[in-house]
Amino acid sequence: MSHKELKEAFVSNLNGTSLGEVSLGSVLAPLCLISRGLILVLYFLGKGVLPFTWKIHLLFDFTILILPLVLSCTILSHSLHVVILSLAAINTILLFSVYHRKKHSTGAHLKDVFQNFLQMHLETKCIPFVTLFRVLVNVKTSISILAVDFSVFPRRYAKAETYGTGVMDFGVGAYILANALVCPEARRKESSVSKISYVTKQLLSVWPLVLLGMVRLISLKLTGYHEHVTEYGVHWNFFFTLAIVRVVSSVFMALFPVNWSWVLALIISGLYQTTLEMTELKSFIIHNGDRTGGFLNANKEGVFSVIGYIAIYMAGVQVGLYVMQSRTLVKDWIKAICNLLLGSFGLFAILYVCQNFIEPVSRRMANLSFCVWTVAQSLFFLSCLGIADVVLVFSKSLVNCTLISSSWNPIQNAKPETLSAEKMKNKMEGFCLIQAVNRNQLLFFLLANILTGLTNVIVDTVSCDDLHSVCVLLCYMFMNCFILFILHLKEITAKFW
């Protein structure tokens, strides 16, 4: 077996992991965010000096946010529950320390503090946990696309061959939903142009994705890089899927009211599943036969899975419409987050029915179960990030600190902030790794793909031992983050279309 065939076999014929393990993994990143915020709040209380230098902020954010995510899917994957419980305990101690200092200085009771907190107004120029969702989906995807080539990465986390729920299977669907959350329709940005002009604009706007897809295709074929053909097909890749999903979804939203997005998601996924069950389409997609019978036969997984991804995108637009509603009070946001969590539980109940009476989750086909699972898991992850945001804004309100970036800021009085305070907040945002990735998300994803290819050329990933594997992954992620951080410091946004 050649080295290329060995690598292809290494990521093939896998069955995924349990729904519970994927959900458990979604709790880690929010806990890391809470740790990051509480450490900065306590430092502010003790020293009162923020921000640090940009180098310290980069190393701090990388250590608190990226390092645990890398370790959790490599050498600590078998102890994930221990890591999460430990972080939860540490965060509880840190939060108690913040509250204890508040109580010591004012003597206020917890009940009164909490009631005042619920009535507090928040700065809502943006919604932090939506930004965090999009950034962390991108970060986790970037880690996984290289980590999967190393033996230290559990095979159960990789993409399942036909049926199954691997962590990377969720990442693909979540990436689609993350884009839908902040699309113009979800943000209710009404366009003054005609519907035809709007659709034409969307068609033209996806040319970078088509170009990237073509570049990836040509480079893979020229270099003989290993490919998992049953993932998308011989010529197809995820960039093409992103482009088509965006254009087709724009057509649907031009023809129908945006508030009907959830109805369209149901209709599309339902009709697609019915077609899979009542025709030969399912056997055509999953049959690993000869792929020389034309473009459709060569790329059947990529072409037909687009239908499921369109349904996920439409569902994501509906979620975005709900999340982007105008709210200012803390209690209103807590209610919204609870509703997202309840929605997640409801969809998991529907998923149970789908898996038992229709068919299991299949990322390869992007079937109904996959669509339901993706939305359910995304809502759960979004809810966890929302809860983390509420915890952070509570700790910030206790000590009147507004210097913790990428989280809500409480408005405790009507007095406007001083110019120096505003400058300090902007500086903290400028030194924030989350904001750096958020500024250039597509570039981050593209850079991760390029460095993944280069790493596979330089390093024998399959034979690499665990320690060296983790070191390579950390260097790879640090390089990604460092480049994006420098661009953010220079206020450079790599978008020219």
Q: Is the dihedral of CA 473, 478, 483, 487 positive or negative?
A: positive
pLDDT digits (tens, 9 = 90+) for 276-289: 999 999 999 998 77
User: Which among 138, 176, 127, 140 has a CA at the least distance from the CA of 316?
Assistant: 176
> In the structure encoding, which two tokens stand for residue 78, read together?
């078998």
Q: CA of 311: how far to CAs of 37, 98, 142, 215, 491, in Å? A: 36, 44, 24, 27, 35
Rounded Cα gap, residues 265 and 183, in angstroms: 16
Q: What was the pLDDT predicted at 290?
A: 73
Domains contained in the chain, number:
1
pLDDT digits (tens, 9 = 90+) for 104-124: 555 667 788 888 889 998 887
pTM here? 0.95
Q: Is residue 494 part of a domain?
A: no
User: Which among 277, 285, 287 has a CA at the least distance from the CA of 358?
Assistant: 277
Q: Is residue 497 part of a domain?
A: no
Rounded Cα gap, residues 43 and 403, in angstroms: 11
Q: Is residue 63 part of a domain?
A: yes
Which helix (H) or strand (E) segment is 10 a member of? Answer: helix 3-10
Please state, as a whole number, how many other Cβ atoms lie within 10 Å of the Cβ of residue 469. 22
Q: Is residue 495 part of a domain?
A: no
Domain range holding 148? 3-489
Q: Is residue 90 part of a domain?
A: yes
Which helix (H) or strand (E) segment is 410 a member of? Answer: strand 410-411
Percent of the chain with pLDDT over 90: 70
Q: Are 392 and 33 in contact (CB under 8 A)?
A: yes
pLDDT digits (tens, 9 = 90+) for 41-59: 999 888 777 788 999 999 9
User: Which among 322, 82, 85, 57 has a CA at the least distance from the CA of 188?
Assistant: 322
Helices (H), 47-118: 54-61, 67-72, 80-106, 110-118
Residue with tokens 């279309």: 497
Rounded Cα gap, residues 218 and 460, in angstroms: 23
